[in-house]
Amino acid sequence: MALYVLVSAAGEVYAAAYFQRADAFVALLLSFTVVCLTFNLLARHDTSKAGVGNRSLLVFAVLNVVTAISWIGLFIGLKYVEPAIVVAFMVALGPTATVWLNAVIRRQGVPPASDIVVSASIAMIASYMIWISASGNAGVEWGARSSFGIVLAIVAGLSLALTNVLVKLLFDRGFSGRQVLAHRFYGTIILLLGLVDYSSIVPEISQHWFAIAAVGVSTMIVPLLLIQQGIRYVEPFTVNMVLSTAPIITFLFQYFDSRIVPSSHTFLGNILITAVAVSNIYLQYRRSA
């Protein structure tokens, strides 16, 4: 999980810089197509015998929808908002939603009081991050589409929480990580086919083929392989808590992007989210010991 945070943070900062000059929908369509083909090839060598029945088919369908929302929301949000804040929104809202999604979808009952307190704390910090952006104290200047970027980041964060629960549900039914990865991006590709400007596809490939490949590998293929294993072996709430360390890592990688001015307000928000996340991991360790 820690390696996932490092790789994805570096990839997201790189993607944010690239999307400033690129046709984002074309780049995402090409990247997700390659990602989908890659994971389908890997799944061909999988030894799992789990079949897609009617109940599992519904889970896969919902997973495709929320995957499209979370990933496209993430990348378009990166285009208009400081990456560390986008990542903070996603991981801050995830734990709050996951607590109740687990209770309803996986029927685990009312969550422990400590989980609820931590979720509420992170949600409050997310509100502080909204103020940072709106007041002009973030590392990226507030622009005409910044509000749109924040809304997308919030929606992506809520969608990510549901994604983690759905993936865990499929693992509980015997599906392997490769099987889940192979069949979760069809909805994303279909949505992008409706958003893309087809006349831009060839120019984008000819001018930015390396950047497109780098975004696909660093933000999708490698991180997804890593996080799928994390989701397999730990509970979704714990996954979200580990992911809560991502904003501070992303903030540090932002020093490699000259367009972002270091913001002490963003740094403070990232530190607060990381501190709450680490505290919760410790509490869960003590509770399970």
Nearest-angstrom CA–CA distance, 225 and 43: 12
Strands (E), 49-178: none
Nearest-angstrom CA–CA distance, 64 and 25: 18
> Cβ of 72: how many Cβ atoms within 10 Å?
22
pLDDT tens readout for residues 144-190: 788 888 888 888 888 877 887 888 888 888 888 788 888 899 999 99
Section 66-84 average pLDDT: 90
* Radius of gyration in angstroms for the set of CA atoms belonging to the chain, rounded to a whole number: 18
Residue 105 has pLDDT above 90, yes or no: no
The percentage of residues in the chain with a pLDDT greater than 70, rounded to a whole number, is 85
